[in-house]
Structure 1
Amino acid sequence: MKASVRLIFGGVLLFTSTILLGFVAFQGLVELAVKDQTALRKNNEIRGIYLKIPFPLNFKIFLFNVTNPMDVQNGAIPILDQVGPYYYDEYKEKINVVDNDAQDTLQYDSYDTYIFNKTLSGKLSDEDYVTIIHPLLVGLVNTVTAVSPALLSIVNQAIPHIFKEPKSIYLTDKVKNIVFDGMELNCQGGNFASKAICTQLKTQIPGIKESGTQKNILLYSLLGNRNATIVDTIKIMRGIKNNKDLGRVLEVNGKSKLDIWGSEECNRFKGTDGWIIPPLLKPEEGIHTYSPQMCKNVVLDYIKDDVIKGIKVRRYEGNLGDQQTVEADKCYCPSPKPCSKKGLFDLSKCIGAPIIVSLPHFLYADESLLKQVEGLKPVKEDHVMTVSIEPLTSAPLNVRIRIQMNLNIEPNQKISIMNNLTTALHPIFWLEDSLDLEGPLFKKISSIFVILGIAHILKWVILVISFGVSGFGFYLYFKNRKSIKITPIHQRPETEEEAFRRSTNELLSQIKKVEKSGHTNNIMSGHEFDRYN
């Protein structure tokens, strides 16, 4: 009975413990561990990865080569031929890190380095020549037209000298010069107009630098100001005190908010810096980030559940909104100019240059834009902005951040080289920052789910065992209750007299057996024996 009770009690205790720990408290314990390990606390592994990604990202750039530049000068529609991708290894690092334990904040300077990857680029080389719309020439004219149209005559006088007697609004140069190394601008001597414009270019245009070999020869590139330089100083929340605050942007370059948009809502920083996402997000919350390059909050909405390399993920997608119809986007309208068309965003107020951004090939943008140029073919999977995260940890397994740079062109009677242009939003290039998590980091994340899967199976196994132990205990209990216990009978020990009689009787019995068998006793006859009987 005692053994059966012990089995019943043990089984019930095992069952209760499994329910409490394996079913009630298990998820909470897992979430608590995730919150602890994803916070940017000192010596946390995730912090080290956040401050310096231990592998290069794939940075791709696609240039729009123009095949009919001189026809465009006479009013023809630009015909574009996409060239690329040119691959670069992008190393991302955060330096000059400062922690504030009281505020639970971390401040850093973002520092990126780009190195051309010949292997991934295949037959393409950064020595290739391409013909693209001249971003500085057209950008200069567009800026002066918008801000100080009275100065257009000075710009017209300066263009031949600075841009070396251009025949069109296009330039032909090596990819490496266009992207990072720099296209030459002539600021040697010249007339008053060219000197005045060169002075303004040196002080106002990001990415312009002096040539190291020739005096007063300036170099301008599309992305040179981003390579091996400190781009922004950003302060974020570490998420130690509140995991929902992880990565939330507090300040950018010393400012706690912007002052360039039409409402407090659009001037306020919302979301993370884009390089870390709070764990345990609900699908309807979306992914909110702030982009310093666009001075804009960007939202990626949940689209669907998916599977990447055997791990369940949530897929999110983003776009540039619609300032003309979506109320929340109207505060980004570049006043006093009218709101941009659907799928476009004007960077004039952000970077001081008249760049219009869109998704590649005008995906999700106003359909009229595709009629202004030839050669674009928007394809969702190739051109959409998307992030796929693991829901528990919010670790990104797949990232595709894509953006296209464009310039407006139109006839301008005060600029000789632009007298007969067509009107169009002209693409320059588009780029992609991409990540496919693999290697040790992917193995670490996948191992978490192997362990969780084993734990999930194990709790059911233990539950079944607890039922078995209790059941066996009850079986023994009821079996013992129905059985009859018989007390064994113990025989009394013989006395000496009883032992002597028993021995004598046994001896007489043996003698009689011998006589019956016909054997003659030679020691004494029967009469002799009878005398002693």
Structure 2
Amino acid sequence: MVWKVCCIYGTGIVSIVLLITGIALVLTQVFQNALYSRIKQEIILKNGTEAFEAWENPPPPIYMQFYFFNLTNPLEVLKGENPAVEEMGPYTYREYRPMENVRFSENGTEVTSINPKTYVFVPEMSKGTEDDLIRTANIPAMTVMEKFKTHAIISKLISDYMRSSGEGLFVTRSVREMLWGYVDGLLFALRTFLPDLDPNFGLLYKKNGTSDGEYVVLSGEKNYKDFARIVEWDGKRSLDWWSTNTSNMINGTNAAYFHPLITNNETLYIFISDICRSLYAQFEKDVTVRGVPGFRFVIPKDVFANATENPANAGFCVPPGNCLGSGLLDVRVCKQGAPIIMSSPHFYQADKKYIDDIHGMHPNAEEHETVLDINPLTGILLRATNRIQTNVLVEKIDTFSSQTQNVKTLVLPVMYLNESMLIDEASASRVRSVVNQGNVVINIPFIIIALGILLGIVFMLLMCKNHRPEASASERQPLLQPS
């Protein structure tokens, strides 16, 4: 009898101990802190870590898709009508971007490398071939006209040459030429006076198999939030194109890597050299990619809003006060004076004026928004779509009246790209394993509490059974006695 009572009360004591222990572990977050500490130690750029191997040679395939806007009414545009364009593409390329010339600082806190990108055409994922012809803005000619429009004699000589050679405001070239380059007749002719001038032009000229500059990033060894954060690009700790120190800051990563333990209330910063500035992304919603939980971050409208809507963007107006409408970024200062304007595809999130100016614009979030789906525990990118559009500023130039005629001042879309990646199944499986193990570790205190509650229920049942009154001898007698 004594042992029975001891077992009952022992069950109660164990239940209380388990409950106290579990609650204490929840409040102190011992297991969660242990898990996070281990993740912080493993996700750093250091030889031998999985994080470094994935950073050096990204396993998921990356694809670059180009969509061109073919101008269908060039003569009418010169007379002052709005342009009409038809979208052509995608022209899809497989992108290879390994890190090369990797060097560690002596204390291991900084990593220097270059990131050459190579593009290989993928016909089966394309709608058309590289030989497709595109009629679009003559960007070399527009750049030359803009540069010399205030020089009366030079502009007349250039205008006469353009007239005699058939050069105009628009040009027809193949997809291959528009992307990777061709010898431009006007630029070639100008070499007579400017021998150092490169006569070649292409939207991605000299960008296939080459790097955009040397990067210095933090390894994350001192602070996990500094993982892969860029501190220097192309020898610069800050940019020098824009008019404020804030606008010239190089912030964040290159959008391919992020620090672990991301929360849904933080802002992620990204530096993109192609548009000459840093951006930021904010949390939108929870997602699941290949069975892996993730946070979706998107580029908010404020990033490209004009200075009236977002005063922090005043520094991107160069010269100061020279601001375009919302949704556009004038990058002439970093594109050798070419009248290049960047935006989201189809002027998504831009002022309605730019959409209405061009027949054929159909902006929507699903097709034209930049999206980053990130696993918050590891910081691993699960899915991404980087979408950006290249436009040109078209305007009438009096000294080049033969070429510009009565054209309206407007922003003409030329091409937009969609750089996308989706985590491969092998990588997703590894991330799922880490996430599942993490969930088990984090939930250990709750498992202990559940066991405590279960034993508490068993204890109460045993107590009730043990204290049930026993029947007397008379009560145990049968109701009916045999006769």
- Relative to the length of structure 2, the TM-score reads 0.85
The alignment status of 1:48 with 2:53, answered yes or no, reads yes
Q: CA–CA distance in 1 between the matches of 2:160 and 2:284?
A: 53
Q: Which residue does the alignment assign to 1:511?
A: none
**1:139 touches 1:355 (CA, 8 Å); kept in 2?**
no
Per-residue deviation at 1:468?
5.1
Q: CA–CA distance in 1 between the matches of 2:92 and 2:422?
A: 15
Shifted more, 171-180 versus 17-26: the winner is 17-26
Q: Which residue does the alignment assign to 1:313?
A: 294
Map Cα deviations across residues 109-140 of structure 1 (whole Å, 9 max, x no partner).
1210101111111x421122222222222222
Looking at both structures, which has the greater relative contact order when contacts are Cα pairs under 8 Å and sequence separation is at least 6? Answer: 2
Of the three residues 383, 387, 391, the one matched with 2:368 is 383
Q: CA–CA distance in 1 between the matches of 2:320 and 2:247?
A: 17
> Which amino acid is the alignment partner of residue 197 of structure 2?
L
Of the three residues 119, 125, 135, the one matched with 2:124 is 119
**2:45 touches 2:219 (CA, 8 Å); kept in 1?**
yes
Per-residue deviation at 1:418?
1.8
Q: Residues 438-453 of structure 1: matches in 2 within 5 Å?
A: 438-453=424-439
Of the three residues 430, 437, 452, the one matched with 2:416 is 430
Q: Which residue does the alignment assign to 1:140?
A: 144
> Which amino acid is the alignment partner of residue 275 of structure 2?
M
The alignment status of 1:253 with 2:234, answered yes or no, reads yes
Q: Which residue does the alignment assign to 2:183?
A: 184
Per-residue deviation at 1:349?
1.5
Secondary structure in structure 1 of the residue aligned to 2:213: strand
Q: Sort the Cα spacing of 1:281 and 1:471 in 2 relative to 1 into closer, same or farther, 3 A.
A: closer
Q: Which residue does the alignment assign to 1:165?
A: 166
Per-residue deviation at 1:329?
0.3
Q: Residues 204-243 of structure 1: matches in 2 within 5 Å?
A: 218-243=199-224
Q: Which residue does the alignment assign to 2:159?
A: 156
Per-residue deviation at 1:296?
1.2
Q: Which residue does the alignment assign to 1:332?
A: 316
Of the three residues 92, 100, 111, the one matched with 1:106 is 111
The alignment status of 1:370 with 2:374, answered yes or no, reads no
Per-residue deviation at 1:420?
3.0
Q: Residues 487-502 of structure 1: matches in 2 within 5 Å?
A: none
Q: Sort the Cα spacing of 1:280 and 1:75 in 2 relative to 1 into closer, same or farther, 3 A.
A: same
**1:158 touches 1:194 (CA, 8 Å); kept in 2?**
no
Q: Which residue does the alignment assign to 2:474?
A: none
Per-residue deviation at 1:457?
6.3
Q: Which residue does the alignment assign to 2:132?
A: 128
The alignment status of 1:301 with 2:306, answered yes or no, reads no
Secondary structure in structure 2 of the residue aligned to 1:429: strand
The alignment status of 1:201 with 2:197, answered yes or no, reads yes
Q: CA–CA distance in 1 between the matches of 2:135 and 2:19?
A: 74
Number of aligned pairs? 459
Per-residue deviation at 1:367?
1.5
Q: Sort the Cα spacing of 1:11 and 1:371 in 2 relative to 1 into closer, same or farther, 3 A.
A: closer
Per-residue deviation at 1:103?
6.3
Map Cα deviations across residues 144-202 of structure 1 (whole Å, 9 max, x no partner).
448x67742343244357xx523x3222222112112x223248996xx56225x3532
Q: CA–CA distance in 2 between the matches of 1:35 and 1:158?
A: 63
**1:324 touches 1:339 (CA, 8 Å); kept in 2?**
no
Q: Which residue does the alignment assign to 1:32?
A: 37
Secondary structure in structure 2 of the residue aligned to 1:267: coil
Q: Sort the Cα spacing of 1:188 and 1:270 in 2 relative to 1 into closer, same or farther, 3 A.
A: closer
> Which amino acid is the alignment partner of residue 104 of structure 1?
T
Q: CA–CA distance in 2 between the matches of 1:40 and 1:189?
A: 46
> Which amino acid is the alignment partner of residue 373 of structure 1?
I
Per-residue deviation at 1:364?
1.2
**1:361 touches 1:378 (CA, 8 Å); kept in 2?**
yes
Secondary structure in structure 2 of the residue aligned to 1:131: strand
Map Cα deviations across residues 233-281 of structure 1 (whole Å, 9 max, x no partner).
1111111111122222211111111222222222222222322112223
Map Cα deviations across residues 8-54 of structure 1 (whole Å, 9 max, x no partner).
66666655555555773122122112222222222111111112212
Secondary structure in structure 2 of the residue aligned to 1:298: strand
Of the three residues 392, 397, 413, the one matched with 2:398 is 413
Q: Which residue does the alignment assign to 2:379?
A: 394
Q: CA–CA distance in 2 between the matches of 1:126 and 1:46?
A: 36
Q: CA–CA distance in 2 between the matches of 1:225 and 1:57?
A: 20
Of the three residues 329, 332, 352, the one matched with 1:345 is 329
Map Cα deviations across residues 90-115 of structure 1 (whole Å, 9 max, x no partner).
11121111111426111111210101
Q: CA–CA distance in 1 between the matches of 2:99 and 2:308?
A: 38
Map Cα deviations across residues 438-469 of structure 1 (whole Å, 9 max, x no partner).
31111111222333445566654544444555
Q: Sort the Cα spacing of 1:219 and 1:313 in 2 relative to 1 into closer, same or farther, 3 A.
A: same
Q: CA–CA distance in 1 between the matches of 2:442 and 2:425?
A: 26
**1:324 touches 1:341 (CA, 8 Å); kept in 2?**
no
Q: Sort the Cα spacing of 1:150 and 1:359 in 2 relative to 1 into closer, same or farther, 3 A.
A: farther
Q: CA–CA distance in 2 between the matches of 1:262 and 1:435?
A: 34
> In percent, how many aligned pairs have the same letter?
23
Q: Residues 20-99 of structure 1: matches in 2 within 5 Å?
A: 20=24, 24-99=29-104
Q: CA–CA distance in 2 between the matches of 1:262 and 1:294?
A: 16
Per-residue deviation at 1:73?
2.9
> Which amino acid is the alignment partner of residue 346 of structure 1?
D
Per-residue deviation at 1:479?
9.5
Q: Sort the Cα spacing of 1:381 and 1:468 in 2 relative to 1 into closer, same or farther, 3 A.
A: closer
Unmatched 5+ residue regions in structure 2?
469-483
- Relative to the length of structure 1, the TM-score reads 0.78
Q: Which residue does the alignment assign to 1:323?
A: 307
Per-residue deviation at 1:86?
1.0
Secondary structure in structure 2 of the residue aligned to 1:153: helix
Q: CA–CA distance in 2 between the matches of 1:188 and 1:364?
A: 35
Q: Which has the higher Rg, Structure 1 or Structure 2?
A: 1
**1:139 touches 1:407 (CA, 8 Å); kept in 2?**
no
Q: CA–CA distance in 1 between the matches of 2:188 and 2:428?
A: 58
Q: CA–CA distance in 2 between the matches of 1:188 and 1:459?
A: 71
Per-residue deviation at 1:307?
3.6
Per-residue deviation at 1:285?
2.0
Q: Sort the Cα spacing of 1:68 and 1:245 in 2 relative to 1 into closer, same or farther, 3 A.
A: same
Shifted more, 299-308 versus 225-234: the winner is 299-308
Q: Which residue does the alignment assign to 2:480?
A: none
Q: CA–CA distance in 2 between the matches of 1:337 and 1:200?
A: 33
**2:162 touches 2:186 (CA, 8 Å); kept in 1?**
no
**1:347 touches 1:355 (CA, 8 Å); kept in 2?**
yes
